Amino acid sequence: MRLKDKVALITGASSGIGKEAALLFAKEGAEIVCVDVNDAAGKQTVAEIIALGGKAAYVHADISKAKDSENMVKFAEEKFGKLNVMFNNAGIMHSSDDDAINTDESIWDLTMNINAKGVFLGCKYGIPAMRRAGGGSIINTASFVAVMGAATPQIAYTASKGAVLAISRELAIVHAKENIRVNSLCPGPLHTELLMKFLNTDEKKNRRLVHLPMGRFGEAKEMAKAALFLASDDSSYVTASDFMVDGGLSAAYVTAE
């Protein structure tokens, strides 16, 4: 088991990547703190882990709020005694997010508060806990859009994910000698609720699919496996990376028919 005796906190554990990661990390031996604002679905994730013979607990936290972020870390230490892995994964993509001209300031603020400030706050409170645990691994979910321009605009989301790369890189360097690794996970477009709600017509979906070398969206389970690598000691010499898990999208100029 690759996460035996580890305690992992996962934000956005009610759905998509976070839920799949919670299930997979638990199967690999970790005790899981599931964090979300969707309490019913978060508790469902916990129930599924326990049914599989794992250990998990749910705590409500809006990651854009300092008090909630502080509390989720405190909860992890009180419930399971320490924090070894932090997967700052929760994020939103608002359907009114557009180009600079058409995106309302409120959408910008909301997106930046959750996607960028949420990661900052997770690290702010998670890193001291990892020091107390003698080290750890932080994985922050960014996106392929942080490194590529898209004609289908989502300016606030793109900016927020660029911030995640920058935050992660800097923290990785600052804390490298403390046995704390920090990496960004950059998923490609996924077959999850978040993206499918945004690409809500066949036309919009096909406009994305044409750029994907593999001709398909990725799956949340595939992101969970990549996150497991970053969480576990298998990646002991990997830090400050922008870990692209995008089916080759960011390397593609033109894809084969």
Catalytic residues: 157
Centroid of chain to Cα 74:
20
- Nearer of residues 18 and 136 to ligand NAD, judged by Cβ: 18
Which helix (DSSP H) or strand (DSSP E) does residue 55 occupy? strand 55-60
Of the candidates 247, 13, 34, 46, the residue with the CA atom closest to the CA atom of residue 144: 247
* x-or-dash string of contact with ligand NAD, 133-152, rule CB under 6 A: --------x-x---------
* x-or-dash string of contact with ligand NAD, 72-111, rule CB under 6 A: -----------------xxxxx------------------
Of the candidates 69, 62, 22, the residue with the CA atom closest to the CA atom of residue 46: 22
Q: 192 Cβ partners below 8 Å, 6+ apart?
A: 15, 16, 17, 220
192 near ligand NAD, judged by CB under 6 A: yes
Q: Looking at the DSSP assignment, which residues form a beta bridge with residue 141?
A: 185
Of the candidates 44, 45, 53, 40, the residue with the CA atom closest to the CA atom of residue 10: 45
247 near ligand NAD, judged by CB under 6 A: no
d(CA 91, CA 80): 25
CA distances from residue 143 to 67, 98, 233 in whole angstroms, order as listed:
26, 17, 23
* x-or-dash string of contact with ligand NAD, 151-180, rule CB under 6 A: ------------------------------
User: Which range, of 30-38, 120-128, 173-181, 224-232, touches ligand NAD by CB under 6 A?
Assistant: 30-38
- Nearer of residues 139 and 172 to ligand NAD, judged by Cβ: 139
CB of 72 to ligand NAD, least distance (A): 9
119 near ligand NAD, judged by CB under 6 A: no
CB of 127 to ligand NAD, least distance (A): 19
232 near ligand NAD, judged by CB under 6 A: no
Cα–Cα–Cα angle for 249, 251, 252, rounded to 5 degrees: 70
Q: Contact with ligand NAD (CB under 6 A): which of 7, 8, 9, 17?
A: 17
Binding site residues, ligand NAD, CB under 6 A = 11-12, 14-18, 36-38, 61-64, 89-93, 114, 141, 143, 187, 189-190, 192-195, 220
